[in-house]
Structure 1
Amino acid sequence: MTKLSVNINKVGNPSNARGGNNPDVIQVALDAEKFGAEGITVHPRPDERHIRYDDVMQLKDAVTTEFNIEGYPDKRYMEIIRLVKPAQATLVPDPPEVLTSNTGWDTISHQEMLKDIIAELHEYDTRTSIFINPVAKYFEPAKLTGTDRVELYTEPYASNYRTNKQNCCETLCGSGRNCTELGLGLNAGHDLDLNNLRFLKEHIPYWMKFPLACPDL
């Protein structure tokens, strides 16, 4: 059964721009759960341009479904995970100077680093997922890091959905099959929305979770 996790990061943009608490990030998370979301995803970046540290701490006590915290595994992120102990920590290779997530981990060159980080996260009883490109050479090294899952980078699929969705979907399907054969749980994320998600779900049977982008408000 695939679970839908709603990424509420963009909800924080208007609040940060205007000051105050409108829209209310916590209420949006609660509403998403009420409407059927099976998880809430956030990506607290160091500059807090989206979700803020205080938001994460409040969501810790408010979210009753799976709480997934994405981020670059620096000291600040690891401390957040230690304090919150979410259901899942998703490791993304976007250091502070990167505007947005635009590629997955090179699990070959970063394998030892990821292995150490994942071992620490498991000490907090937190499931791990690492963000990777749907490229065959990265799958087995990902397995060797000890991660529970991988999250396939789906921006190319989303960008080409209206013109070449079948080919993009076939690429993801092959990647999904390879990952599941290795015993890796499979997530998908980046630019997934209500327009392009159904086709992906109907054509690829391997998914465990979709972090769905919450539309800008």
Structure 2
Amino acid sequence: MSYVIEPFKQVGLNVEGTEDKFPVRRVYCVGRNYAAHAREMGFDPDRNPPFFFCKPNDPESVVPVAKDGTIDLPYPPLTENYHYEVELVVAIGKDAKDISVEDAKNVIFGYAVGLDMTRRDLQMEMREQGRPWEVGKAFDYSAPIGELTPIDGTNELTNGNIELTVNGETKQQSNITHLIWKTAEVISRLSELFELKAGDLIMTGTPEGVGPVVKGDTMVARVEGLGSITVNVK
């Protein structure tokens, strides 16, 4: 079989301890999953059912970064309020449908640190109009993601510091124990809404302290045990 145009390239994330890549199928994101971040965005952080949005899975959106590596990221167009959001990323290694919270850990391949970069002014404009967030969340180079650490090397990750610095100054600092919806609960809920497949990624939410970066800034995002990624805004 041939295609009328050249097929799109598959995005592959680096995997610790191997030269093989993890193929990215879908990128799910959890909204307002830390109470303090929900408050700073003007919302009540009560434990309501989690809500989700997606980012594209193409090579122009998902940006693989080596463990403790550095990349340059272009400042996106049509925004004057370009925000960082450091997140724990969960990689799914087995198909899952209607999976229980207790069994959710069995479908996790591994974890990484990632950034949910956001054109905040465009996101807020869409929110005020009751429209989808894609222009604020799903743009080119919006998801730098570090090397995946397989769960065999970490066991289920339920505790660990998460932080982000800009030009050496700490902007976000929390612990993944503060997730409103824990990763197993998020996986279980997503598997009710969609049939999860091996290759899916879940960006689990960001803690408080989100804010803007400009050209020339350097961000360092870390999750304890998973290393860091450094991003220069160009």
Alignment TM class, shorter chain as reference: under 0.3
Normalised TM-score (structure 1): 0.25
Kindly indicate whether structure 1 or structure 2 has the higher relative contact order, using CA contacts under 8 Å at least 6 residues apart.
2
Q: Which has the higher strand share?
A: 2
Normalised TM-score (structure 2): 0.24
